[in-house]
């Protein structure tokens, strides 16, 4: 049957009942409603191999230990839901203003620290970043206790500075800051590879013997195998305190007599209070490092460059230490390096005078 050009086939058919005419529209509306719901979450595999679902759009994240909190800061401080403890004075300098206004949620931040679950429920993070030193009973107990919380618990591997390139990439991907994560990953990998390459050529008899002085008396330290002191070998040094670490907490006490026997060439100092007395204390004056004025206060603003708590600042710390131990091998301009690092990782522009202050010069 031929139809005039202004008539479509089937025009003579009886019209559909109104209820049936609504079906296509309802189906389309349902599809449009469900589509965004399905896109609101995504499945991920964390760095311990566990599968879980997290929101697709991430706006707020909590971490239950300082290394995780600092890692999030590096990716985007606006993501942080809270702090693990009230800020030290050193942390209030050279950080973005928003970081200094966050609530304290607590966490697994060392001895005597606890997680404030009420505050955590109030801030409602999209998920929680968890880092554990090792898979022990205490860590398992914590994981079990967190099972009742309504937030996914994502494990990040940060047991060594060598883990940072992948961790930065992982957090960047997790939070939809992929370009940022990849930029920081590239810096981290380059810094590590550069240190390995430069120090691989140093003969053992040319490596500098280093003592890491912790505590207000300088007589606490870390064994050579401890991750707390891993920058020493990475920067071409030898930790004078040998042996296997006693535990993950570290800070092992030694005697002055033992330290005199070690007689290190360089001493790295963590506590500013000890650094102010080391050159005048008669017990220390017979050490070679003190006589040669090769005792250095580790930079600690806004976060320690070496240890306690370990953070991405170690990526700058290994450059600082390599330059101290082997300036002929690594004659870098640490003022320029420090200013560039603070801009990239901390979002803070340092003047040259501020960089000198940070470097304890």
Q: Based on C-alpha coordinates, what's the Rg of the chain?
A: 28
With 50 as the cut, is the pLDDT of residue 12 above it?
no
Q: Give the end-to-end CA distance of the chain in Å, rounded to a whole number.
A: 97
Q: What is the pLDDT of residue 244?
A: 72
Model pTM score: 0.86
Residue spans in the chain of domains classed CATH 3.40.50.1980: 42-186, 202-358
143 and 64 in contact (C-beta within 8 Å)?
Answer: no
With 80 as the cut, is the pLDDT of residue 291 above it?
yes
List, in sequence order, every residue forming a beta bridge with 19; answer none if it has no partner.
none
* pLDDT, tens only, 101-152: 999 999 875 444 688 889 999 999 999 999 866 666 767 777 777 878 899 9
* pLDDT, tens only, 139-179: 777 777 787 889 999 999 998 999 999 999 999 999 999 99
Q: Which of 233, 242, 250 is nearest to 321 (CA)?
A: 233
Domain 42-186 CATH superfamily = Nitrogenase molybdenum iron protein domain (3.40.50.1980)
CA 159, 160, 166: angle at the middle one, nearest 5?
Answer: 90
With 80 as the cut, is the pLDDT of residue 259 above it?
yes
pLDDT band (50, 70, 90) for residue 14: low
Mean pLDDT of 321-339: 97
The CATH number of the structural domain formed by 202-358 is: 3.40.50.1980
Q: Work out the angle between the directed axes of helices 314-325 and 178-200 (0-180°, nearest 10).
A: 20
Could you give the CA distance from residue 70 to residue 167 in angstroms, rounded to a whole number? 12
Q: What is the pLDDT of residue 107?
A: 84
- CB-based contacts of 324, cutoff 8 Å, min separation 6: 235, 266, 296
* pLDDT, tens only, 22-41: 555 554 455 445 544 445 99
Could you give the CA distance from residue 333 to residue 356 in angstroms, rounded to a whole number? 12
Greater model confidence, 51 or 141: 51
pLDDT band (50, 70, 90) for residue 336: very high
Q: Please, what's the b/e burial string for 143-156 (b: 16 or more CB within 10 A of its CB; e: otherwise)?
A: beebeeeebbbbbb
Chain-centre distance of CA 126, in angstroms?
19
Q: What is the pLDDT of residue 68?
A: 95
With 50 as the cut, is the pLDDT of residue 181 above it?
yes
């Amino acid at each position: 049957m031929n139809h005039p050009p202004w008539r479509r086939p089937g025009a003579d058919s009886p019209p559909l009942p109104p209820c049936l005419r609504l079906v296509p529209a309802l189906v389309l509306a349902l599809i449009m409603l469900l589509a965004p719901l399905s896109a609101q979450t995504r499945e991920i595999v964390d760095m311990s191999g566990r599968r879980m679902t997290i929101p697709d759009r991430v706006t707020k994240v909590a971490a239950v230990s300082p290394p995780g909190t600092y890692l999030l800061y590096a990716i985007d401080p606006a993501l942080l839901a809270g702090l693990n403890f009230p800020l030290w004075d050193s942390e209030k300098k050279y950080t973005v203003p928003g970081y200094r206004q966050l609530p304290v949620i607590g966490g697994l931040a060392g001895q005597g620290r606890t997680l404030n679950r009420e505050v955590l429920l109030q801030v409602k993070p999209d998920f929680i970043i968890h880092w554990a030193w090792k898979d022990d009973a205490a860590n398992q107990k914590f994981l079990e206790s967190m099972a009742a919380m309504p937030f996914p618990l994502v494990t990040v591997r940060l047991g060594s500075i060598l883990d940072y390139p992948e961790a930065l990439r992982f957090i960047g991907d997790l939070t939809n800051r992929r370009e940022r994560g990849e930029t920081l990953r590239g810096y981290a990998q380059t810094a590590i590879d550069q240190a390995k390459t430069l120090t691989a050529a140093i003969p053992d008899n040319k490596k500098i013997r280093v003592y890491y002085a912790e505590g207000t008396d300088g007589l606490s330290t870390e064994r050579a195998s401890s991750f707390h002191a891993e920058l020493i070998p990475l920067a071409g040094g030898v930790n004078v305190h040998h042996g296997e670490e006693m535990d993950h907490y570290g800070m092992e006490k030694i005697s002055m007599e033992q330290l005199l026997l070690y007689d290190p060439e360089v001493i790295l100092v963590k506590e500013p209070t000890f650094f102010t007395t080391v050159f005048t204390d008669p017990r220390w004056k017979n050490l070679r490092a003190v006589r040669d004025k090769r005792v250095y206060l580790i930079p600690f603003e806004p976060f320690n460059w070496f240890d306690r708590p370990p953070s991405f600042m170690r990526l700058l710390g290994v450059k600082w230490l390599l330059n101290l131990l082997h300036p002929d091998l690594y004659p870098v301009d640490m003022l320029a390096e420090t200013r560039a690092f603070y801009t990239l990782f901390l979002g803070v522009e340092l003047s040259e005078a501020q960089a000198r202050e940070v470097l304890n010069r």
